[in-house]
Structure 1
Amino acid sequence: MTSEPAAPAPRVLAVIPARGGSKGVPGKNLAAVGGIPLVARAVLACTCSRRVSDVVVSTDDPSIAEVARTAGAQVVLRPVAIAGDTATSEAAVLHAMDAYEEKAGAATDVVILVQCTSPFITSEEIDGVVAAVTDGGADTAHTVAPFHGFVWRESDAVSGGTITGSGEAPAGTSTEAATDGGAFGVNHDKATRPRRQDRPQDLLETGAAYAMRAAGFRTAGHRFFGRTALVRTDPARVLEIDEPADLERARALAPLLDPRAATPTRDDIDAVVIDFDGTQTDDRVLIDAEGNETVSVHRGDGLGIAALRRAGLPVLILSTETNPVVAARARKLQVPVLHGIDRKDLALKQWCEENGIAPERVLYAGNDVNDLGCFGLVGWPVAVAGAHDVVRAAARAVTTAHGGYGAIREIAAWLLGPTLAR
């Protein structure tokens, strides 16, 4: 007796809409939270998902496209007709599905809309909405969070709907306040205030992830057709970035909520390799009348490098610049230097071979696109704060200090502890 072959896994496409224009927060989708651009955060959550087959970013912006590709997504360039302020997310998803299916030569079974504006979305949440459709029999699913608040509305604040100032209130709400022209309860009657445990559980749509059967989505044209499943998430992680204050809140919360905030320890690292300009300096150069160049470095970085040397960690400075200031700084720090290097990744690979160091045990700190080759070679690529967006997106960890302002001292503290130089 022969067994039936296993059914192929459903093809699950994650689509991340990311326009270049944003009035509320200019450049929002490239804004960094926890050192990682919002679009890259969404891509990383999708690529870490067990159930997502492919990830596509729909954008009209070349910079967003570059960051998205670096983070591991395919890119679909969005036409002008669906790139304006009035364009819907559904239109972007349908266009991206068409472009993806034409390229892949295969139909999509499930499509997920993932929003960049939810910076703390996790791969587990993405897997949850997909499972609700593929395994749970739902047509659509989206993330929600438990909500216990009493919602109020002012009757004169509603236009074109049920409340017009005449005193009529939606079903299930208090009519007393609406009748007298005052505020009314949307999810409660103000005359009856039951305890939280005695009220039905309200659920807040988080705006993070929406999964849909692809064929049904094409027919309906919206994300809530058929039977909708709700996938509960942690309310502490719910934050949508619509205003500048939301972005500041997200940045403050990132160290507490971001699973990518992990930093390496001494047990993870056998060598530290450091770029120079923009990493050990603030990326500025002062030039006098004779053409001599001067840069600014941070004393704390020198202390950190000295501590790394005392701990027995090999340290190398690797730079494309031929400026003698690089060699002078290396002599001061008593570390070897390779400078005037066109292909830093090849030089780093050769250095690792000559010193018997496995690249996956190397921490490389950099700030600009010429460091990306080294990022792809080592186990711990680290970007300094203020690094190029693409570099931050490719980094495994990001310092809170900028280049030239103690970033290397911070890295040394990760490896050796905060009191290393005291």
Structure 2
Amino acid sequence: MTVLAVIPARGGSKGVPAKNLAPVGGIPLVVRAVRAALAARRVTDVVVSTDDAAIAEAARTAGAEIVLRPAAIAGDTATSEAAVLHAMDAYEAMSGAAAEVVLLVQATSPFLTAGDLDGVVRAVTDEGADTALTVAPTHGFLWRLDGEGSPEHVRDASLRLGGYGVNHDRANRPRRQDRPREFLETGAAYAMRADGFRTARHRFFGRTALVETDASRVLEIDDPHDLARARALAPLVEPPVLPAHGDIDAVVLDFDGTQTDDKVLIDADGRETVAVHRGDGLGIAALRRSGLKVLILSTERNPVVAARARKLDVPVLHGIDRKDLALKQWCDEHGIAPERVLYVGNDVNDLPCFGLVGWPVAVASAHDAVRAEARAVTATPGGEGAIREIAGWLLGPALQPPHHTPHRALDT
């Protein structure tokens, strides 16, 4: 049975600019959706419907087919149904086959799993449903304003008068265990019989199945606050995924705050001294021996950085204003795909590089914004063996960081 997953991901978004490319756990939202769909056992084909070149490139790299969406169905008022119908037609033209079941998969639900998708497909293919959607149990009491209770009628806009209960009687509020079960539509995944969807042109028709999911993973990203919550939740609701040697071709290292503790000692002559970690040097040497390319990339043009690079026998680019442009050029010169690069950073000037590479990694002492956009975070702070820890991820537990005493790298 042909099961087509369609991921609508247009470029325009007023609430969160470039929302579908926003990283959660270091992975862009559209890529997360593509990976979940590709991992679902019952999904046979995955397409992303988009009007945006950057989204198309990210989705294609992740393994999806691309359907370019015309402007007429890419605006703020365009419906997801219109995008899915257009993608179904495009898929049929590309493949010569018609889908029997179609999925609407929302990239704005970052914690969607392959199991969720298999669940809604199973409800349609095996259990007789015409449509299915993911839901989560809820026990909330809902309220609604009557016509006299709009905020403009009150002095404080946070105070809303004229409220009444929707799913409860305020004079009789039963205990949770005495109420009928209610479910919240998660907005993450919908499955439909393709022929019925073409006729109804709506995601709900015939018999609808509710597929219960874990309420702790339910979150839809509509505004910056949702995105911040998703980034904070990612380490809690998802098992940590660390890179292996086969996942990458190069390791690129920031210097200050990553290979150091971000402190500088300056003598009376203006000479700078920083502390580095011997374990990091051992880790970098092991990475080089393993065949990975290693580069130090720093904003600061500082003799200390150059001296450390010479000591490690590693190439260095320093005094770089746009680290992402320098990194992209370096990758092009060496024939390395950016998605096969592990970049280690600690501060906000590393974020453009995070958006370029496949494995953005933050040290434990990194700025909160950097940790939020990292795909992995070390347990070790910068300057205390974080690079040795990363070498341990890639090369095995024998390289996990021991406790070494830092030594000083001098400008010589």
Counterpart position of 2:177: 197
Instruction: Give me the whole-angstrom Cα distance separating, in 1, the residues matched to 2:311 and 2:400.
Output: 24
Structure 1 vs Structure 2: percent identity of aligned residues? 58
* SS of structure 1 residue aligned to 2:147: helix
2:109 pairs with 112, 118, 135, which one? 118
Counterpart position of 1:148: 139
Relative to structure 1, the CA distance from residue 398 to residue 320 in structure 2 (aligned partners, 3 Å threshold; closer, same or farther) is closer
Counterpart position of 2:388: 412
1:55 and 2:46 are equivalent in the alignment: yes
Instruction: Give me the whole-angstrom Cα distance separating, in 1, the residues matched to 2:115 and 2:104.
Output: 15
Instruction: Give me the whole-angstrom Cα distance separating, in 2, the residues matched to 1:96 and 1:258.
Output: 30
Counterpart position of 2:237: 257
The amino acid that maps onto 2:206 is G
* 1:173-252 correspondence to structure 2 within 5 Å: 182-252=162-232
CA RMSD of aligned residues (A): 3.9
Deviation at 1:420? 4.3
The amino acid that maps onto 1:308 is G
Instruction: Give me the whole-angstrom Cα distance separating, in 2, the residues matched to 1:331 and 1:156.
Output: 73
Deviation at 1:305? 2.4
Counterpart position of 2:357: 391
The amino acid that maps onto 1:155 is D
Instruction: Give me the whole-angstrom Cα distance separating, in 2, the residues matched to 1:273 and 1:304.
Output: 22
Instruction: Give me the whole-angstrom Cα distance separating, in 2, the residues matched to 1:84 and 1:374.
Output: 36
1:69 pairs with 60, 63, 76, which one? 60
Deviation at 1:410? 3.4
1:45 and 2:11 are equivalent in the alignment: no
Counterpart position of 1:286: none
Instruction: Give me the whole-angstrom Cα distance separating, in 2, the residues matched to 1:241 and 1:148.
Output: 22
Deviation at 1:37? 0.7
2:8 pairs with 6, 11, 17, which one? 17
Relative to structure 1, the CA distance from residue 410 to residue 198 in structure 2 (aligned partners, 3 Å threshold; closer, same or farther) is same
Relative to structure 1, the CA distance from residue 158 to residue 91 in structure 2 (aligned partners, 3 Å threshold; closer, same or farther) is farther
Is contact 2:296-2:309 (8 Å) kept? Answer: no
Deviation at 1:399? 3.6
The amino acid that maps onto 1:194 is P
Query: What whole-Å deviation, never above 9, does each CA across 1:24-55 have from its counterpart, x for those lacking one?
Result: 11111111111111111111111111111111
* 1:70-85 correspondence to structure 2 within 5 Å: 70-85=61-76
Instruction: Give me the whole-angstrom Cα distance separating, in 1, the residues matched to 2:247 and 2:126.
Output: 46
Relative to structure 1, the CA distance from residue 97 to residue 158 in structure 2 (aligned partners, 3 Å threshold; closer, same or farther) is farther
Instruction: Give me the whole-angstrom Cα distance separating, in 2, the residues matched to 1:130 and 1:143.
Output: 11
Instruction: Give me the whole-angstrom Cα distance separating, in 1, the residues matched to 2:106 and 2:148.
Output: 29
The amino acid that maps onto 1:305 is D
Is contact 1:66-1:390 (8 Å) kept? Answer: no
The amino acid that maps onto 1:31 is A
Instruction: Give me the whole-angstrom Cα distance separating, in 1, the residues matched to 2:31 and 2:287.
Output: 35
1:308 and 2:283 are equivalent in the alignment: yes
The amino acid that maps onto 1:410 is A
The amino acid that maps onto 2:357 is V
* SS of structure 2 residue aligned to 1:249: helix
Unaligned ranges ≥5, structure 2: 151-160, 258-271, 318-325, 346-350, 375-380, 393-398, 406-412
Is contact 2:288-2:294 (8 Å) kept? Answer: no
The amino acid that maps onto 1:106 is A
Instruction: Give me the whole-angstrom Cα distance separating, in 2, the residues matched to 1:312 and 1:80.
Output: 47
Aligned residues: 340
Unaligned ranges ≥5, structure 1: 1-9, 160-180, 283-295, 341-365
The amino acid that maps onto 1:234 is D
Instruction: Give me the whole-angstrom Cα distance separating, in 2, the residues matched to 1:42 and 1:418.
Output: 35
Is contact 2:109-2:221 (8 Å) kept? Answer: yes
* SS of structure 1 residue aligned to 2:357: helix
1:26 and 2:20 are equivalent in the alignment: no
* SS of structure 2 residue aligned to 1:239: coil
The amino acid that maps onto 2:281 is A
* 1:314-329 correspondence to structure 2 within 5 Å: 314=289, 317-318=293-294, 329=308
Instruction: Give me the whole-angstrom Cα distance separating, in 2, the residues matched to 1:44 and 1:191.
Output: 48
The amino acid that maps onto 1:382 is L
Is contact 2:338-2:356 (8 Å) kept? Answer: no
Is contact 2:149-2:163 (8 Å) kept? Answer: no
Is contact 1:14-1:113 (8 Å) kept? Answer: yes
